[in-house]
Amino acid sequence: MKFNKLSPAEEERLAKLTEECGEISQMVGKTLVHGWASYHPRDPKQVRNRAELEKEVGGLLAVVDIMIAAGDLNPDAIESAKKEKAATIWKYLHHQGE
């Protein structure tokens, strides 16, 4: 018996969520080091960091939607947490203006 009691489908969705979060983390790191307009020097399409980050955030949101549809996540709880964060995050942001 598995200790986490997750189905293979649940594990797969969680793995995809982790993968997308990692890809976002990687793009944030690249953007912090090289800036929004930079791109990988061997990329013939010269896709900028901003576009890459937008793509990865879209991937994350797609996985979240899949997890909501599967019943893994509650969309009302997510929206509530989003509103709570929006109301409290400003005291931790120091360079966003008034």
Per-residue pLDDT of 13-57, as tens digits, reads 999 999 999 999 999 999 999 999 998 888 889 999 999 999 999
Task: Please give the share of the chain, as a percent, with pLDDT higher than 90.
Answer: 87
Q: Look up tokens 């993968």; give the residue.
A: 19
pLDDT band of residue 72 (cuts 50, 70, 90) is: very high
CA 25, 48, 36: angle at the middle one, nearest 5? 65
**What distance in Å separates the CA atoms of residue 19 and residue 34, rounded to the nearest whole number?**
22
Q: What is the pTM of this model?
A: 0.88
Look at residue 11 and give its three-state secondary structure. Answer: helix
